[in-house]
Amino acid sequence: MMKISINRQYFIDQLNHSLKAISPTTTTPILHGIKLEVTEDELILVSSNSEISIEITIPTEIDNEEILEIHQTGAVVILGRFFVEIIKKLDGDFVHIESTSGNTTTISSGKSKYDLQTYDANQYPLLPDVNNENAVTFPASILKNIINHTVFAVSTSETRPVLTGVHLESHEDGLNFTATDSHRLSFRKLEDSSYSLGELTAVIPGKSLIELNKIIADSDETVEVYFSQNQVLFTYRNIRLISRLIEGKYPDTSRFIPTNFETSFTVSKQEFYHAIDRVSLLARESRSNQAVKLIVQDGQVRVSSQSAEIGFADEDVNVNNLEGNDFKIAFHAKYMLDALKSIQDDEVSVQFSGEIRPFIITPIESDEITQLIVPIRTY
């Protein structure tokens, strides 16, 4: 038994967050649903899959405005995506939800009424328990930046599951974050001892961080992060997101980042990005050769690509502080574009150790971010 009335627009916003933890591929039928648990003074929404769980607490009032009216306490599990679509399409400022003693819940607003089949809330799995022994608090804007700097480089292949996550490594001076798919690597350090978690290391699934990034705002609001042996909990506003941690030993990636360079230059990030984006149009269409080439010769830098089916494109790039030897290198355009997009600075440094060795892109104003790309061998 359960009966509530709730502000429809606010409810939609919260339900959209809940949907982030519902997987359409789950084989457990009840996990297609969202659990609504009504207490004397709040509504708790719970959604979960094999990787993440989200718990959202909705109070009766926000800033002295009534959001939720509780008529009867209780709990029910309603099919998630269909339920949310109904709420979105209803008219009226408030939605009325009432469950009976059977397995039916009535949703009504204005002249519309739906009777939906539901699950027994007692059968819904309990959320993982995360203690607060290892805890750190971030401003949401910093955590959002860290995710943006790293998560795009995680592997999408389950061949090596540990590479599908971002590796967090704590030390006495702060935290290091690393993501790699073996073809590129993104490294972000946070040098501030107040963030240190001792000698803790953890691999957080990339998918979980992507969903968290959609929830948190670029603001000074705080995100509290708690680590247990195999789970991590993020608490933000009225939302708790719990993610499993990936098991396995993350590779030692520090040895892959070069420290000696044969050629380097600085360049406007925007100009470099757009030049590569333009010439890569042909590479994207090529069936045999999707590489973009970068040529340093006689004090000039040029990027080019070709497609046997379409033709050839090249473009000169204005660079500064060009030092070192003439050479050629080829790389996957998407990796370079992703790396450049993740850096906020106007100017970047690009440093090369040889034609077949990884090269790095860094902001010139900071050493916090390192983007590494493995070149493509061309014959």
Measured N-to-C along each axis, helices 80-89 and 8-19 cross at an angle, to the nearest 10 degrees, of 150
- Whether residues 277 and 324 share a domain: the answer is yes
300 pLDDT higher than 90: yes
H/E element, 226: strand 222-227
Q: Are 148 and 137 in contact (CB under 8 A)?
A: no
Decide if 350 is inside a domain.
Answer: yes
Phi-psi category of residue 248: left, alpha or beta, with phi > 0 → left and psi -120 to 50 → alpha: left
Phi-psi category of residue 237: left, alpha or beta, with phi > 0 → left and psi -120 to 50 → alpha: left
- Whether residues 240 and 265 share a domain: the answer is no
In the chain, the amino acid numbered 278 is: R
Confidence of residue 327 (pLDDT cuts 50, 70, 90): very high
Work out the number of other CB atoms within 10 angstroms of the CB of residue 158. Answer: 8
Decide if 378 is inside a domain.
Answer: no
Share the mean pLDDT of the chain.
Answer: 94
H/E element, 338: helix 333-341
Range of the domain at 85: 2-123
- Whether residues 263 and 362 share a domain: the answer is yes
Work out the number of other CB atoms within 10 angstroms of the CB of residue 17. Answer: 20
CA distance 153 to 107: 43
- Whether residues 111 and 139 share a domain: the answer is no
Q: Are 192 and 368 in contact (CB under 8 A)?
A: no
Task: Dihedral sign for Cα 264, 265, 268, 271, please.
Answer: negative
176 pLDDT higher than 80: yes
For strands 94-99 and 327-332, give the pairing.
unpaired
- Whether residues 13 and 45 share a domain: the answer is yes
379 pLDDT higher than 60: no
What is the DSSP secondary structure assignment for residue 353, as one 8-state letter? S
Confidence of residue 248 (pLDDT cuts 50, 70, 90): very high
Q: What pLDDT is recorded for position 100?
A: 81
Looking at the 3D structure of the chain, how many domains does it have?
A: 3
- Residue with more model confidence, 285 or 147: 147
288 pLDDT higher than 60: no
217 pLDDT higher than 90: yes
Q: Are 162 and 248 in contact (CB under 8 A)?
A: yes
- Whether residues 232 and 168 share a domain: the answer is yes
Residue among 316, 246, 331, 234 at smallest CA distance from 280: 331
Confidence of residue 101 (pLDDT cuts 50, 70, 90): confident
Q: Which of 123, 142, 169 is the last residue of a domain?
A: 123
**Domain CATH number, residue 119:** 3.10.150.10
Q: What pLDDT is recorded for position 23?
A: 84
Q: What pLDDT is recorded for position 309?
A: 78
Q: Are 371 and 184 in contact (CB under 8 A)?
A: yes
Residues 86/89/94/98 CA torsion (nearest 10 deg): -20
CA distance 102 to 52: 30
End-to-end CA distance of the chain: 70
